[in-house]
Amino acid sequence: MNRPVGTATRGTTNPNRLRRMDRWIAATHGPALRGGTTAPVAVDLGYGAAPWTAVELLQRLRTAAPRCEVVGIEIDPARVAAAKPYERDGLTFRHGGFEVPTADRPALIRAANVLRQYDEEEVAAVWSRLCGRLAPGGLLVEGTCDEIGRRHVWVALGPEGPRTVTFATRLGSLERPSDLAERLPKALIHRNVPGEPVHAFLRDFDRAWAAAAPYASLGARQRWIRAVSDLAGEWPVKDDRRRWRQGEVTVVWEALAPATA
């Protein structure tokens, strides 16, 4: 067997850490997962020292696509061995890395908290490699969250490349939208400086949040919805109130992509 591509992560994981990402995937990619003639394969890439995120991914995807199967892939063979007792119908664990060693091309690859340890210059090549493994119509979701999943930012990519960036948060814990900056994925986290689009976006989001302060008396959710609604007048927001109510907002990738090489 060839050596897996990549390096081991710290392995930090907690139950429910990726719930926001999972629910977004089930809601937005569910129709594509249901649409095929065969059981779709989803990959939890770099699931960490415990298998919880893969177990939960299967549960959440099956609410949208009952035939879905999940393969947890880890570069550390000891983590794979520790996860094996949790295998069941539709859930398996496999040793591997960015080569994504599955028999069939996956309809979904989720890589959460995997690329933070890499250099920014390495991200594009990893994205390209992972997107090259996707089935037609497949989706790569790559991003970062805090240890208990309160704040999360991810990029969604198709075989052609990046499509959108989603910001998601537990609204009760949020002081201002720019608090999410610390969870930007590797492709963007060093770009949160003046002159870069993502910095301008978070600046405008903070302004919209401040302007929506009167709505705080109705709750943080109503304040968020109002702020995002105002933001959508200036930025290409892709989703609607159904997702905003979840403490999310999704923006076209090109609007936030790095301005400089």
Superfamily of 19-169 according to CATH:
Vaccinia Virus protein VP39 (3.40.50.150)
pLDDT averaged per 10 residues, the chain (length 261): 79 88 96 87 96 97 96 96 97 97 96 94 97 96 95 96 97 95 97 97 98 97 98 97 97 94 57
CA dihedral in degrees (44, 115, 153, 235; nearest 10)? -120
Residue 220 pLDDT: 97
Q: Angle CA(154)–CA(108)–CA(235) in degrees, nearest 5?
A: 35
Residue 5 pLDDT: 87
Report d(CA 181, CA 195) in Å as an integer. 15
Nearest to 226 by CA among 236, 212, 238: 212
Strand order in the sheet with 151-158: 91-95, 69-74, 41-45, 108-112, 139-145, 151-158, 161-169, 248-252
Please state the domain extents for the chain: 19-169, 171-240
Predicted TM-score (pTM) of the model is 0.95
